[in-house]
Structure 1
Amino acid sequence: MIKVRVQSLGLDQSTQSPVVILQEEEGERVLPIWIGPAEASAIAMEMAGMKFPRPLTHDLFPLVIRGLGGTLTRVLITKVHDNTYFAELVITRGDEVFTVDARPSDSIAIALRTRAQLFTTDDLLTATTISMAPESDAGTVDLTGEPGSAGEGPQPGMNPEQLKEYLRNLDPEDLGRFNP
């Protein structure tokens, strides 16, 4: 497993879908994962240090884990199947280790709150074969078919090879910041 960090959030202009960009800690490869707006907001709020007087959903889960005597030690982004990414929460309590199946978007939001480490596989990082350019102040990801862009964005029903080809053609400069 390869340690990654949240590099940024972007917005796919063609689908208006948020994209979380995970970058390997010791390299330039990235893993873009299209996520929902609620999860993107949860990630963005934590990255911005925004706190609310009452716990939101992604704040509540770490409280429950701690209340039950556990610690979220790491999140594993394990695979993609039919354009759906899979993750596991690794929770320890004493000498016991539990893994819980979870969506990557929720897992990332929770990991940021608990300072848990994020990992993914070499295969997932290799499948994207794109490198991130320095961050820009662009507010969106423009994937509308303009020269240098990646086309129309990932579509439901894409097979794994189509998704890999889409990711290979993804221009990192098309990725901007997601603003909740």
Structure 2
Amino acid sequence: MIKVRVQSLGLDQNTKSPVVILQEEEGDRVLPIWIGPAEASAIAMELAGMKFARPLTHDLFPSIINGLGGHLTRVLITRVQDNTYFAELVIQRGEELFTVDARPSDSIAIALRTRAQLFAGDELLTTAAFEIAPPEAGDDVPGGEVELPPGAGLTSEELKEYLRRLNPEDLGRFNP
């Protein structure tokens, strides 16, 4: 597993879906994960340091974990299957360590609130990631204008090509 951080939160201009970009701590590889608007808002609010008088949904889980004597130690983005990413919350209570299956978007929102570390499988960064680089000379397909969006039954090669041509600036900024 490779330690990652939230690099940015954007809006895919093709699908109009929010995208959270995770970047490896010790490198340039990134992992884009398309997420729902509610989870994107939860992530954006935490990144912006917005606090509310009453707990929101993603504030409840850390409160419950702490109330039961545990704490979230880390989040693992473990795999992708049929264009769906899977994550695990790793919780410690005393000497006991256990994992809970969760969606990556919820896991990231919760990890940000608890300051837990984020990790992604190296194979995810290798096979479903793109390097942030300027377009190559002679590249006639601008970033963000690839015909097939992720989640539309793409093969792994089509996803790689989509991500290779995707320019992070084309994602836009997500505002909750």
Taking only aligned residues, the RMSD between alpha carbons, in angstroms, comes to 1.9
The answer to whether residue 146 in structure 2 is matched with residue 151 in structure 1 is yes
Report percent identity of matched pairs. Answer: 78
TM-superposition CA deviations, 1:147-177 (whole Å, max 9, x none)? 3435142143223333233223322332332
**Structure 2 equivalent of residue 42 of structure 1:** 42
SS of equivalent to 2:49: coil
SS of equivalent to 1:41: helix
Provide the TM-score with structure 2 as the length reference: 0.90
Unaligned 5+ segments in structure 1 are: 135-144
**Structure 1 equivalent of residue 79 of structure 2:** 79
SS of equivalent to 2:152: coil
Q: Are residues 166 and 148 of structure 1, via their aligned partners in 2, closer, same or farther at CA, if it must alter by over 3 Å?
A: closer
In structure 1, C-alpha distance between the alignment counterparts of 2:83 and 2:125, rounded to whole Å: 15
Unaligned 5+ segments in structure 2 are: 135-139
Say if 2:30 and 2:125, in contact at 8 Å, map to a contact too: yes
Q: Are residues 76 and 150 of structure 1, via their aligned partners in 2, closer, same or farther at CA, if it must alter by over 3 Å?
A: farther
Aligned residues: 170
In structure 1, C-alpha distance between the alignment counterparts of 2:47 and 2:133, rounded to whole Å: 20
Structure 1 residue 98 displacement after superposition: 0.7
The answer to whether residue 174 in structure 2 is matched with residue 178 in structure 1 is yes
Q: Are residues 41 and 129 of structure 1, via their aligned partners in 2, closer, same or farther at CA, if it must alter by over 3 Å?
A: closer
**Structure 2 equivalent of residue 139 of structure 1:** none
* 1:149 maps to amino acid: G
In structure 1, C-alpha distance between the alignment counterparts of 2:98 and 2:129, rounded to whole Å: 32
